[in-house]
Amino acid sequence: MSTLPTEFERTDIGEIQIAPEVIEVIAGLATVEVKGVAGMSGGFAGGFAELLGRKNLSKGVKVEVGQREAAVDVSVIIEYGYRLPQVATEIQQNVKRSIENMTGLNVNEVNVHIHDVQFKSTEKVEEIDLNSQRVK
């Protein structure tokens, strides 16, 4: 999928085109900035998650780009203890704001798909019984 240059993307010395992959990266970064997001999900078919890794910044993001508009789908994993609707709303606002500010495109929808909830890992610390270590 490629974007077509619009009137405001033509300059005296050439055209400006923004690849959809760039918009995916912007949306991915804007998503993981939101407090409560544990990571991005591979989507419906992927099934596995990459937790806050920056290996693939567009993982879990799908965009449809027109000449002046964009629609975004993000698939996320939320940390346990956060209100899911609140985190999803913050994701929508941050993604929309970031894409519009950086590209000039109008974002007409941001769909958030919550695929999982991540529980914090609990590390068990074993206590040493000093009485059992005594020499008899």
Give residue 121's pLDDT.
67
> Cβ of 5: how many Cβ atoms within 10 Å?
14
Give residue 7's pLDDT.
47
Place of tokens 């941050």: 94
Question: The pTM is what?
Answer: 0.75
More reliable by pLDDT, 68 or 109? 109
Give residue 45's pLDDT.
45
Q: How confident is the model at residue 136 (pLDDT cuts 50, 70, 90)?
A: low
Give residue 53's pLDDT.
44
Grouping H, G, I as helix, E, B as strand and the rest as coil, residue 84 is helix
Over residues 51-70, mean pLDDT: 79
Please report, for the chain, the start and end positions of each structural domain, with discontinuous segments joined by +: 7-133
Judge: domain 7-133, CATH 3.30.70.1350. Answer: yes
Calculate ∠ Cα 34-37-109, nearest 5°: 65
More reliable by pLDDT, 97 or 16? 97
Give residue 134's pLDDT.
55
Sign of CA dihedral 33, 34, 35, 40: negative
Give residue 131's pLDDT.
56
State percent of the chain over pLDDT 90.
57
